[in-house]
Amino acid sequence: MAETTNIIAFQGLEGAYSHLSCRHVFPNMRAIACETFAEAMFMVERGDAKLAMIPLENSTAGRVEEMYRLMPSTHLHIIGEHFEPINHCLLALKGAQLSDIKTVTSHPQALAQCDQHIHELGLEPIAGYDTAGLACEIAQGSDKSRAAIASSLAAELYDLTILRENFQDVTGNTTRFLILSKDAGLPDFDASVPFITSLMFTVRNIPAALYKALGGFATNGINMVKLESYMGSGVPKGSSFHLDVEGHPSEQLMQYALKELAFFTQEMRIMGTYVAHPFRLTNQRVLEQ
């Protein structure tokens, strides 16, 4: 259907941080909420949505484990990335005061990112499945002793009051999202543009296999910016990894490195090549100061 070209899928209810990211990156697309990550991704595979906005990792709470189980089972491609600054808000019913609050609920990662402030206020944390969904649940009730940790967008959509903004423990808390598409969409190489290439691979079951597989990137001067292990499907006969490197497959040195990687792996799949998000350059400059 023609209208699916203007649909982007995300996991969670309206008001989730993924929804906020969809608004920021694709303000003219219709964002559709899905109950699970798998549902959002399979919407794209079925052609019911053009794109999916999926979180991969958070600078405070670490990686989203489920994504490493799902990605190998799909045929989607990574066509972009987005870094969303996370402003956790402590939300409650209209008229509630901070002194009224006894419990706070949110997704386990959000609770982890606000752990210090939760304990300082003496609140009982209660883990749930979805930040926006739990905010909606509180809005539908009448208990002023309950609070939720969610986005300012959730407060707006569900008519809740914001008791505290920037409730996260660490300044600069950021979530990295991947933008997934059914089409590969390999961008043309431009030497003036920084690219990221994402791969998944399973090394051969031999001594020092990972060391040998990654050696080509070192000898060809290609910077690796992320390496994560994950459990592949079936009986493991070799370790599986997600790898992000700086570079484009059209570059000759990258081709040399990929050839060496392929030699020491059972399976290798390029998930996508895309323009590096400006956050990477900004963050690097901050670290260098």
Hey, which residues does 285 pair with through a beta bridge?
A: none
Task: Give catalytic status of residue 175 as yes or no.
Answer: yes
Local mean pLDDT, 10-residue blocks, the chain (289 residues): 79 92 96 95 96 91 85 92 95 97 93 94 94 94 97 96 94 92 93 97 90 96 94 65 97 97 94 96 53
Task: Give catalytic status of residue 265 as yes or no.
Answer: no
Quote the pLDDT of residue 237: 62
Quote the pLDDT of residue 143: 97
Of 105, 175, 197, 265, the active-site residue reads 175
Quote the pLDDT of residue 37: 94
Quote the pLDDT of residue 1: 44
Sheet with 124-127, edge to edge strand ranges: 124-127, 103-106, 146-150, 89-92, 161-164
Of 26, 177, 217, 264, the active-site residue reads 177
Quote the pLDDT of residue 238: 67
Quote the pLDDT of residue 185: 83
Domains of the chain: 2-85+174-181 (3.40.190.10), 89-164 (3.40.190.10), 195-288 (3.30.70.260)
Quote the pLDDT of residue 232: 61
